[in-house]
Structure 1
Amino acid sequence: MHKPDILQDPIFVAPSSLLPAQPEVPSSKYYTLRYILAAVLAPGESRIILPALSDDSDALFRGCRALGAELRWEDEQQHVLLIRGIGRPHATGPVTINVGNAGAVLRLLLGLGAMLPDVTFVTDHPQSLGKRPNRELLEALTQLGVMCESTGSEGFLPITLHGGAIHGGKVTISGARSSQYLSSLLFLAPLLPDGLEITVVDGLKSQPLVRATLEVLQEAGIQVDYAENLLSFRIAPGQQYQPREYTIPGDYPAAAALLAAYAVSNDPSSTLRLSRLRPGDEVGEALLQAFRAMGADLRVDGEQVTLRGGRRLQGFSLDGDPVIDCIPVLVAAACFAEGESVISNIESLHYKESDRINDLCTELRKAGCSVEPQEDAIIIQGQPQGVEGGVTVDGHNDHRVLMALAIVGLRSRSGLILTGAEHIAKSYPHFFEELQRCGADIHPVAPQQ
C-alpha cells in the first residue's frame, strides 16, 4: 500500500476554512474484514470489489494467506481483489501471523486459527495492540478444546493456539468488553463438525457490528439461528461458505471525521458531499442522528450525504456504544458546540489502540478544550468561539485520536502540531491529504537545526 508523503512526523494543522468538496470516502473497514473472511472460507473463487486499503487490510491479507488462501489483484488500481478460498484453514507446519496493530483482524483470525495445529499471533505494535485484552475469547476457545498460550492474565500477545481437533458443541462468551470475540466464534462455527451453540453473558457491546457479521454470514450462505437480543446463537453443522462477489460500501467512521470537520466550520459556504454511504446501515444511521442532534445542517439522498458548515452547534447527549469508533471525532465536534454534551456508554474505548477516553481528553485539554473523562463517559463544555491551540499534541499511536485532534486544530486560533501522524494509515491513509484538498493547511513540521 502506497503511503502519502504527508505522513511525516510531526505535522502542523493550521486554523483553516474548508472549501466545497466531494472527497472520496474509503471503503468500510468492518465489511472489508468480514467479506474477505467469508471469501477465504468458501471453496472456489470470490471477487471483492473496492476493499479498504490500509495497514489493517495489509495485516488481514497476510493472515488470510497464512491460513492457506490465495489473494491477488485483478487490476493495477487495486479495485478488485480475487480470492481463491480454502473451505477450511489448513497448514502443513507451525504458522506465525503478524497482525500489525489490527485488533479486529486478530480477534476474528484467532477463531479460525483454532482449526490449525500450531499457530502463533504476534504484533510489531507491543505498546498498542500488545496491550489489548483477548482473555474472554481465549477462555471460550479453551472450552472448545483448544490449548491457548498467551502473555499475562488478560490474554495479551503473543498468543499461540494448539487446535486442529476442535469439534464444537456449546460455549459461553462474555460480551462486556468487545463484540469481536462473538464475531470470531460466529465465523468459526459453520466449520465445526458438531456445530456450535453460543451463549453471551455480561451483556453485549457494539451490537451493530454483530448484526453486520450476521448479515455477511447470511450472504455467504450460512444460516444462524439467534435470539433477537443477540445473547444466544445456534449454528448447525454441515454448512459451507459459498463463493460470491461482494461490493464494499463506504466507511461511516471515516466519513464521521470529514463530517465533523465541516460541522465545526464557521463558514456557511463550506459544503461537504460524500457518496457510497449505504442507507440503513445501523452505525451510519446512529451517526447521522448524532449530527442532527447537535444541529448540523445535514441532508441525505440515497447513498449521498451533504453537510454544510456555518451552523451554531448545540450540546447533546448520546449513547455512544452504537457508534463507538466515531466517538473521538464526535467529542471533537462537541468541543465547539454551545453548552454541555454528554457522551456515555463508552467504557470499551479504554481497550482500543489507545485509551480513547483518558488519552483523548489529555490531548484535548492541552489544546484548550474543556473535557472531563469518566469511566464510562466524556463530558464536554463547548466553546463555540474556538480554542487557543498553539501546542504539540500526541496521537497515542491511534488513528481515531489523530482524526479528532486534526479537527480541533482546524478550529483553533494558533493551530496544533500532531505527533505520530503516520498511524492514520491504520484505517485512512489519505485522511490528511483529503483535508488538504478540502482547503485545510496541513504540512510537515520542518526539523529544527
Structure 2
Amino acid sequence: MKKLINSLNSGLNGELLIPGDKSISHRSIMLGSIANGETTIKNFLMSDDCISTINAFKDMGVEIEQNENNIIVHGVGFHGLKKPNKDLDMGNSGTSTRLMMGLLAGQNFDSNLIGDNSLSKRPMKRISTPLEQMGAQIKLNENTLPAIIHGKSLNEIDYTLPIASAQVKSAIILAAIQAKNKSTIKEPIKTRNHTELMLNTFSPNTIITEENTITINPVTQLIGQNINVPGDISSAAFFLVAGAITKNSNITLKNIGINQTRTGILKVLNLMGANYTLLNQNLDGEPTADINIKSSSLKPINLTEQDIPMMIDELPLVGLLAACANGVSKITGAKELRFKETDRIKTLVQEFKKLGISITELEDGFIIDGSKNWNPTDLLLDSHGDHRIGMTMAIAALLIKDSTTLKDSESINISYPTFFNDLNKLIKTS
C-alpha cells in the first residue's frame, strides 16, 4: 500500500526533467541491436518494460552496456541475432512483444515469447495475421501469448490496418524491412511514427510516407547511431494534468518530445482552456520543447474516434481533466482502452466512482460530469496492476481532503519508476 499525497493547497511548483520516452527507448534497443557498429543511447528509460527489451536482446547474443540511463548497444548486424536458449520473457511489455514478433518473424531461428499474467491476456492475433500474410509462421495460444515464432524468409505485403495501431504498424514495418520486395501499409488514422523516423536515421530512405500510406523498402544493413531520447510526453502528461487541476501551481517540464503524432494531450489541454505554453522548441529530428503549465479553469470536451490515436495512453488523464471541468464531457471511439494492461474503461470508472466522480461507462468510452462535487466513498484506490491507472489515481488524490492509499503502486515502475520522487520534488519547492 502506498499512502498518497492529499489536499495540496500549496500547489506544484518548479522545474522537472521527465524520464526518456518509452516508445523511443524500446525502438533504439531493437534497431541498435541489428545495426552494424555501436549505438549510443542517452536518457534511456530504465523502466521495467524497457528492461524487458534489453534482456531479450541480451538473450539473443547482443552485448548491451548500461550506465544509469545511458546505454551502448554493440550491434550484431542485420542477420546477427542468435537463437535464444530460453523463452524470451516480455514481462508486462506489449510494445516489446508486438514489435519483436515482426522482427523475429524474418530471422533464421525459432523463438518463444512469454509474458506475465496481464500481458498473457492481451490480443496478439492482430499482429500474427498480417505477418502470416507475409509468410511468417507464428503459433499463438488462441489469441494470446505464448507466441512460438518460426523465423523464415518473408514476402512483401500491401496491408490496410483495420484499426489505428502504432504497434501493429511497427511490427509489420520490422518484418517488411526483411522482405524480398517493398511493402505498403495504409493507416485509417495516423498513429505515432517513431519507428519510421528512427529507421530512416539508421538506414536513410527506407520509409517513405505520403499522407496515410507508408512504403517500406527492404534493408541490407543498418548503421549504428547516437540517440538522445527526449522526455516522454505520456509521462509528462501526469504533471501537465496535475498542474492544471491543482491550485497555485506553476510547473515547467524540460525537453519533452512533441512529435505531432503524440501531442493529443496538448490538443485536449488547449480545447479545455488550460494555461500552458511551449518554450525552447527544437524541431530537428524528434521535436522537443519545454512545457510550462499553470493552474487552470477547465471547460468540458467531446472526443471521438478520430482524436483517440494521438492520446490513447493519456485517456485516463483526459478523464481526470473532465472530472475537474465545468460541465459534461464525453469520450467515445476508445474501445482500444479495453485491451491495455487492464480494461482501462472499466477500471477507470470503478476507481473514479470511489472518489465520487460522476462517470458513466460506455462501450467505447465514458461520460463525466465535472460540474458535480466529488463525494468520496472509498479511499482505498487500486491500480489494478496498471501503471497509468495507478498514476492517474495518485494525481486525483491531490484534490482529496482525507487520507488516501493506493494498492499495487509497484506497477508504476513499468513506465515511470521515479514518479513519486518527481512528484515530491514539485511539492518541496512550492
Same fold (TM over 0.5): yes
**Within 5 Å, which residues of 2 pair with 1:232-381?**
233-265=214-246, 267-268=247-248, 270-279=249-258, 281-302=259-280, 303-309=289-295, 311-318=296-303, 319-381=307-369
Are 2:98 and 2:167, in contact at CA under 8 Å, matched by a contact in 1?
yes
One-letter code aligned to 1:111: G
Pick the aligned partner of 1:99 from 81, 85, 90. Answer: 90
Q: Which amino acid is 2:255 matched to?
A: R
Gaps of at least 5 residues in structure 2 are 281-288
Contact 1:261 1:333 in 2 (8 A): no
Q: Is the 8 Å Cα contact of residues 389 and 415 (structure 1) preserved in structure 2?
A: no
TM-score, normalised by the number of residues in structure 2? 0.90
SS in 2 for 1:166: coil
1:446 match: none
Residue in structure 1 matched with residue 112 of structure 2 by the alignment: 120
Q: Return the letter of the residue paired with 1:271.
A: N
**C-alpha separation between the residues in 2 aligned to 1:370 and 1:327?**
17
Pair 1:44-2:53 in alignment = no
Q: Secondary structure at the match of 1:68?
A: coil
% identical aligned pairs? 26
- Distance in 1 of aligned mates of 2:162 and 2:390: 28
Contact 2:177–2:218, Cα closer than 8 Å, also in 1: yes
Contact (CA 8 Å) 2:62, 2:73: kept in 1 or not? yes
Paired letter, 1:197: S
SS of 1:291's equivalent in the other structure is helix
Choose which of 163, 171, 175 in structure 2 pairs with 1:188: 175
Say if 1:298 and 1:308, in contact at 8 Å, map to a contact too: yes
Structure 1 residue aligned with 2:100: 109
Q: Deviations over 1:68-121 (max 9, x none)?
A: 321003x4xx23211111222532565420000000111011111221421001
- Preserved CA contact (<8 Å) 2:209 2:215: no
- 1:389 and 1:413 in contact (8 A); partners too: no
Bigger shift: 167-176 or 413-422? 167-176
Counterparts of 1:93 and 1:390, CA distance in 2 = 47
Going from structure 1 to structure 2, the CA distance change for 1:111 and 1:95 (only over 3 Å counts) comes to: farther
Matched, 1:150 2:143: no
Separation in structure 2 between the aligned mates of residue 251 and residue 169 of structure 1, nearest angstrom: 33
| Structure 1 range deviating more: 138-147 or 415-424 | 138-147
Q: Using the alignment, how far apart are the partners of 1:174 and 1:28 within structure 2?
A: 25
Cα gap change, 1:228/1:239 in structure 2, threshold over 3 Å: closer, same or farther? same
2:61 aligned with 1:68, yes or no?
A: yes
- What is the alpha-carbon distance in structure 1 between the residues aligned to residue 387 and residue 409 of structure 2? 8
Question: Does the residue aligned with 1:275 lie in a helix, a strand or coil?
Answer: strand
Q: How far apart, in 1, do the equivalents of 2:207 and 2:21 lie?
A: 26
Give me the whole-angstrom Cα distance separating, in 2, the residues matched to 1:323 and 1:230.
18
Question: 1:380 & 1:166 partners in 2: Cα distance?
Answer: 50
After superposition, the C-alpha distances for 1:30-53 in whole angstroms (9 at most, x for unaligned) are: 111122222112111111111111
Distance 1:229 1:103, change over 3 A: same
Structure 1 residue runs without a partner (length 5+): 1-8, 441-449
Residue 141 (structure 2) pairs with residue 141 (structure 1): no
Whether 2:52 is the aligned partner of 1:90: answer no
The verdict on how the C-alpha distance between 1:355 and 1:132 changes in structure 2, with shifts beyond 3 A counting, is same
Structure 1 SS opposite 2:88: strand
TM-score by length of 1: 0.86
Deviation digits for residues 95-152 of structure 1, max 9, x if unmatched? 42000000011101111122142100111x21x1111001021122222333222112
Does the aligned pair in 1 maintain the 2:59–2:85 contact within 8 Å? no
1:347 Cα shift?
1.6
In structure 2, how many angstroms separate the alpha carbons of the residues matched to 1:204 and 1:179? 11
Choose which of 178, 197, 205 in structure 2 pairs with 1:223: 205
Matches within 5 A, 1:370-449: 370-383=358-371, 385-388=373-376, 390-439=378-427
**Partner in structure 1 of residue 284 of structure 2:** none
Going from structure 1 to structure 2, the CA distance change for 1:236 and 1:228 (only over 3 Å counts) comes to: closer
Task: Answer whether contact 1:11 1:419 (CA < 8 A) is retained.
Answer: no
Q: Give the Cα–Cα distance (whole angstroms) in 2 for the partners of residues 230 and 111 of structure 1.
A: 21
**Contact map agreement 2:122 2:340 (CA 8 A) in 1:** yes
Structure 1 partner of 2:8: 16
